[in-house]
Amino acid sequence: MKAPKKCTKCEQKTVKSTYHIMCIPCAEKEKVCPKCGKFEEIVRKTDPDQQKLESELQNLVRGLPERKRRTFLRLISRKEKPNGKITCTKYKA
């Protein structure tokens, strides 16, 4: 997303995520989903689901060429840092 969209609750241009209709602070205050605006229970991923996704990711990374693999792992390590912001939108992990 290139430019922020207008939040449906506070009318400010603060929506920076694609497919969202309201900003995160308004969604948390209203306790609704920022994408659909409905009150739904937020389902968190469980450990077995997370482990399955990690194993699938490892298999996919093994199949990448060396240059792309190193680029991908470098972007992942930057994203894991507490203050490391990624401004590049070309690669999404």
User: Digits of tens for pLDDT over the chain (93 positions)?
Assistant: 789 999 999 999 999 888 899 998 998 898 888 888 888 765 665 677 778 888 998 999 999 999 999 998 898 888 766 554 544 444 444
Tens digits of residue pLDDT in 75-85: 888 876 655 45
Q: Which two tokens stand for residue 60?
A: 């996919």
Which sequence spans correspond to the domains of the chain? 1-39
Q: Percentage helix, strand, coil, to 5, in the chain?
A: 40, 0, 55
Between the alpha carbon of residue 67 and those of residues 8, 74, 77, 89, the distances in Å are 43, 11, 16, 18
Amino acid at 3: A
pLDDT for the residue numbered 11: 92
**How much is the pTM?**
0.43
7 near 22, Cβ under 8 Å? yes
